[in-house]
């Protein structure tokens, strides 16, 4: 298989926060208008304290990383122009009683249909799109991805502090997100028709209002010829987002190679996957993990090493083996977003220290010397994912 046919793109959701208090601020429409005037296309999310960026389609990891840096830098500038701070965090460290829902017809319908689930959102994730040739391949690739989803979550966990306290979880976002009836790990599907039948039932029953509410952590995109992996918290840094995208892409490539050889994914029990999810959300990358394939309990770092070994042929073809090894070593040494949040909170004693740490991590590696404040590079150019 030509690995360049498995192109990749990324969506990142961000929190807009008050620069003085760190509390969510309802300014996504103003930030999006400022960005549009400057040639940068942003997407509104369910609540008005969220904003989303979409990259172009990429074949080279270095180019993807550069655009992610350009986008974060550009959106941060637009937020600052509207008295807001951009934070790459999966759930607000400090929150109001509820979130104002973005005033669009679709989001108003969601708020009316799902009540406080919509008003208690503000949850920011990262979605990785990888190209696949057809709907059947998308479903079969999803089956291969299922057992690795908890590990992707553990690697990127970035929501340890909520309402000004430690949650006891590295990804509290994941715990809250799975309250939605159409969220969580996807079922194991025998074929694309089985996928479509379940989606049709969920629509007819009112469990979902439209196909965009297929919130499974792997889903077939309804807009693009891609499989979309949605399990991750928004990572704290561009380097971590790029690492996630690279590992996801390599896993999809390995799955497609297996399918080309006539091998389908072995099923993993939903109960085992549920246990692995909870453990990943609880412990993150620093603790133990459950391997859904066989129920082993082992350090998450060792399970990560097993994933890297599994996808090494794809990484070698992509030319990304060294990048993955170096970035994993750096993340494990310094800690991911959840680790950094907890370290800052325990050292500073309050949520202000967490907000400062997150603000620094959001733009880590994004600054360009002697660059005009609103220089976006090519962040707004090309064909976005959405």
Taking only the tens place, the pLDDT of each residue in 53-110 is: 999 999 999 999 999 999 999 999 999 999 999 999 998 888 655 567 777 888 778 7
In a domain, 375, yes or no: no
Within-domain flag for 327: yes
Structural domain span for residue 152: 3-363
Assess if residue 376 is contained within a domain: no
Model confidence over 114-133: pLDDT tens digits?
Answer: 665 665 667 999 999 999 99
The predicted structure's pLDDT at residue 116: 57
Counted domains in the chain: 1
Q: What is the helix (H) or strand (E) element at residue 267, kind and residue range? A: none
In a domain, 369, yes or no: no
Listed residue (264, 352, 357, 384) closest to 11, CA to CA: 384
* Predicted local distance difference test score (pLDDT) of residue 349: 78
Cα 234 to chain centroid distance, Å, stands at 5
Is 384 domain-assigned?
no
Strands 183-184 and 215-216, how do they pair? parallel
CA-CA-CA-CA torsion sign (53, 54, 56, 60): positive
Q: Specify whether the CB–CB gap between 282 and 172 falls below 8 A.
A: no
Q: How far is CA 268 from CA 138, 227, 246, in A?
A: 17, 19, 24
Nearest to 83 by CA among 20, 41, 35, 166: 20
pLDDT at 216: 97
Nearest-CA neighbor of 288 among 265, 304, 272?
A: 304
Report if residue 171 sits inside a domain. yes
pLDDT value, residue 112: 79
The radius of gyration of the chain from alpha carbons, rounded to an integer in Å, stands at 19
What is the DSSP secondary-structure string of 21-70?
T--B---HHHHHHHHHHTT---EE-SBTTEEEEE-B-BS-HHHHHHHHHH
Q: CATH no. for residue 85? A: 3.30.590.20
Q: Which residues contact 39 (CB under 8 A, 6 or more apart)?
A: 376, 380
- Given the structure tokens 């400090």, which residue do they identify? 94
Q: Is residue 380 part of a domain?
A: no
> Is 111 a domain residue?
yes
State which residues of the chain have pLDDT below 70.
1, 95-99, 114-121, 368-386
Check: CB of residue 131 under 8 Å from CB of residue 9.
no
What is the reported pLDDT for 377? 39
The model's pTM is 0.91
Q: How many residues does the chain have?
A: 386
Q: Are 145 and 258 in contact (CB under 8 A)?
A: no
Question: Phi and psi dihedrals of 216, rounded to 5?
Answer: -55, 150
């Amino acid at each position: 298989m030509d690995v360049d046919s498995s192109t990749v793109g990324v969506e990142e959701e961000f929190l807009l926060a008050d620069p003085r208090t760190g509390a969510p601020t309802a300014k996504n429409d103003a930030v999006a208008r400022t960005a549009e005037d400057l040639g940068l296309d942003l997407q509104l999310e369910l609540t008005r304290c969220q904003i989303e960026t979409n990259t172009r389609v990429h074949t080279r990891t270095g180019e993807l990383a550069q655009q992610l840096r350009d986008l974060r830098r550009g959106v941060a500038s637009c937020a600052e122009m509207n008295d807001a701070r951009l934070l790459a965090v999966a759930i607000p460290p400090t929150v109001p009683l509820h979130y104002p829902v973005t005033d669009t017809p679709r989001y108003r319908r969601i708020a009316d249909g799902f009540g406080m689930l919509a008003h208690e959102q503000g949850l920011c994730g990262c979605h990785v799109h990888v190209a696949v040739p057809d709907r059947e391949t998308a479903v079969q690739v999803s089956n291969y991805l299922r057992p690795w989803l908890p590990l992707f979550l553990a690697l990127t966990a970035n929501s340890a502090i909520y309402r000004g306290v430690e949650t006891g979880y590295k990804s509290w976002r994941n715990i809250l997100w799975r309250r939605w009836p159409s969220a969580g790990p996807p079922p194991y599907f025998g074929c694309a028709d089985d996928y479509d039948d379940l989606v049709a039932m969920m629509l007819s029953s009112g469990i979902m209002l439209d196909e965009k509410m297929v919130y499974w952590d792997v889903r077939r995109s309804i807009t693009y010829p891609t499989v979309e992996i949605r399990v991750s918290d928004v990572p704290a840094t561009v380097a971590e987002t790029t690492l996630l995208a690279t590992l996801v892409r390599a896993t999809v490539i390995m799955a497609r190679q297996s399918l080309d050889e006539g091998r389908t994914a072995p099923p993993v029990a939903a109960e085992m996957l549920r246990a692995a999810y909870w453990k990943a959300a609880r412990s993150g990358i620093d603790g133990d993990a459950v391997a859904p394939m066989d129920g082993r309990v082992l350090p998450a770092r060792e399970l990560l090493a097993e994933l890297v070994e599994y996808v090494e042929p794809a990484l070698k073809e992509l030319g990304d083996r060294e990048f993955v090894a170096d970035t994993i070593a750096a993340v494990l040494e310094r800690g991911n977003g959840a680790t950094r949040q907890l370290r800052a909170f325990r050292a500073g004693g309050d949520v202000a220290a967490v907000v400062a740490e997150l603000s620094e991590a959001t733009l880590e590696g994004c600054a360009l010397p002697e660059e005009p404040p609103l220089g976006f590079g090519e962040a707004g150019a090309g064909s976005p994912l959405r």
